[in-house]
Amino acid sequence: MRISRRNFTGLLAGSVALPLIGGAPAIAADKVVRIGYQKYGTLVLLKGKGLLEKKLEKIGYTAQWTEFPAGPQLLEALNVGAVDFGSTGETPPIFAQAAGAPLVYVAHEPPAPRGEAVLVQKDSPIKSVADLKGKTVALNKGSNVHYLLVKALEEAGLAYSDIKVSFLPPADGRAAFERGAVDAWVIWDPFQAAAEVAIEARELRNGEGIVPNHQFYLGAKPFVEAHAQAVDVLIEANSEIDVWTKANTAAAAAELAPSVGIPEPVLIKALDRQSYGVRPLDETVMKQQQAIADTFFDLGLIPKKLSIADVVRKGGA
């Protein structure tokens, strides 16, 4: 992780009734949706377009946005009550649930297995995942690629203990990868696409056939239960942006590029590997997520068995 811990202050301390202004309904201090987002994805586009604010205003809510370097940090913030809602890959919510975070799975996007991969340098002598035995592999601890690495090793007949793992956030992982301090890097888009385009990193194995790579929308349980209408509006707005992005990949890349600092061609490559269509979790998705949780428990990466079904939102939009 880029930081060991973040201190979050200034949490809302209760509602304060406000007078009518210009005939509009007053907005209470507790009618704020605090959203955690990462440098890439639907939520960044949603923030940039201002669509959510317009929808929330109709029901008397406002939005506050906070950027995080990766899913584990975002869910750490949710755990301590600093954000109410956000999106991450498959693995961060499992680690967060194991740590006691009061999270709820609200919705997901379909699998995007090509949107994460094990990369090696273009001239690396490593030709297969089996060649990683005894090598050092960098990844962001607790991120979606953590499970990809486990399953790729399993497929190649290697144990997790057969490699050396270096836990590094994306920026540090890229730096270590480029200077040859690690032999391979397990990473997700758009960082994956950036490495492929800029330094011609070679894909050793992506997630096709071994991991689904879902994107999940998650909320803090107290917020989801107390503000169901606002959560439904969030999912509705995300769905609209999702539909637009799928139909307008080049335009979406152009909008994202200035805010994330990544060239448009890289973003187009990443967006082409993304999946689209926000929807509630079904039995298949819950079973897939349960399999990840069980795997991490068996490996001793989380301290207790989890039940994914116990933290999936029932009902809603």
CATH number for the domain spanning 261: value is: 3.40.190.10
CB 241 within 8 A of CB 215: no
Map residue 255 onto helix, strand or coil.
helix
Q: How far apart are CA 187 and CA 89, in angstroms?
A: 12
Q: Are 108 and 218 in a shared domain?
A: yes
* 9 in a structural domain: no
Instruction: Read off the tokens for 209.
Output: 């056939």
Range(s) of the domain holding residue 302: 32-112+214-311
* 218 in a structural domain: yes
Instruction: Read off the tokens for 33.
Output: 């949706």
Q: How confident is the model at residue 313 (pLDDT cuts 50, 70, 90)?
A: very high
Q: Closest Cα partner for 8 from 88, 69, 73?
A: 73
Q: Are 185 and 195 in a shared domain?
A: yes
Q: Are 220 and 305 in a shared domain?
A: yes
Q: Are 300 and 258 in a shared domain?
A: yes
Picking from 174, 206, 238, the residue at the C-terminal end of a domain is: 206
Q: Are 75 and 89 in a shared domain?
A: yes
pLDDT above 50 for 14: no
CB 107 within 8 A of CB 235: yes
Relative to beta strand 184-188, strand 116-120 is: antiparallel
* 20 in a structural domain: no
Instruction: Read off the tokens for 208.
Output: 């096709």
Q: Are 100 and 223 in a shared domain?
A: yes
Structural domains in the chain (count)? 2
Q: How confident is the model at residue 30 (pLDDT cuts 50, 70, 90)?
A: confident
Q: Are 225 and 299 in a shared domain?
A: yes
Q: How far apart are CA 268 and CA 276, in angstroms?
A: 14
pLDDT above 90: percentage of residues in the chain: 79
Q: Are 179 and 202 in a shared domain?
A: yes
CB 270 within 8 A of CB 115: yes
Chain segment 230-241, per-residue pLDDT in tens: 999 999 999 999
Task: Please name the residue ranges forming H helices in 165-227.
Answer: 170-178, 191-198, 221-226
Q: How far apart are CA 297 and CA 37, in angstroms?
A: 27
**Which residues touch 36 (CB under 8 Å, ≥6 apart)?**
66, 67, 68, 74, 77, 78, 83, 85, 86
Q: Closest Cα partner for 93 from 79, 111, 109, 113?
A: 79
Picking from 206, 237, 262, the residue at the C-terminal end of a domain is: 206
Q: Which of 24-33, 58-67, 169-178, 275-284 has the lowest mean pLDDT?
A: 24-33
Instruction: Read off the tokens for 45.
Output: 């586009």
Following CA atoms 280, 283, 287, 288 in sequence, which dihedral angle do they give, to the nearest 10 degrees?
A: -50
Rg of the chain on CA atoms, in Å: 20
Q: Which of 39-53, 89-103, 194-208, 267-281 has the lowest mean pLDDT?
A: 39-53
* 24 in a structural domain: no
User: Does residue 25 have a cis peptide bond before it, meaning omega lies within 30 degrees of 0?
Assistant: no
Chain segment 116-131, per-residue pLDDT in tens: 999 999 999 999 999 9
Q: Are 55 and 143 in a shared domain?
A: no
Q: Are 139 and 172 in a shared domain?
A: yes
Span between the terminal Cα atoms of the chain, in Å = 34
Q: How far apart are CA 261 and CA 270, in angstroms?
A: 14
Chain segment 63-87, per-residue pLDDT in tens: 999 999 889 999 999 999 999 999 9
Whole-prediction pTM value?
0.83
Picking from 152, 171, 206, the residue at the C-terminal end of a domain is: 206
* 8 in a structural domain: no
Q: Are 165 and 281 in a shared domain?
A: no
Half-sphere exposure of 46 (CA within 13 A, CB side): 29
pLDDT at 154: 96
Q: How confident is the model at residue 316 (pLDDT cuts 50, 70, 90)?
A: low
Q: Are 220 and 88 in a shared domain?
A: yes
What type of residue sits at position 249?
Answer: T
CB 182 within 8 A of CB 126: no
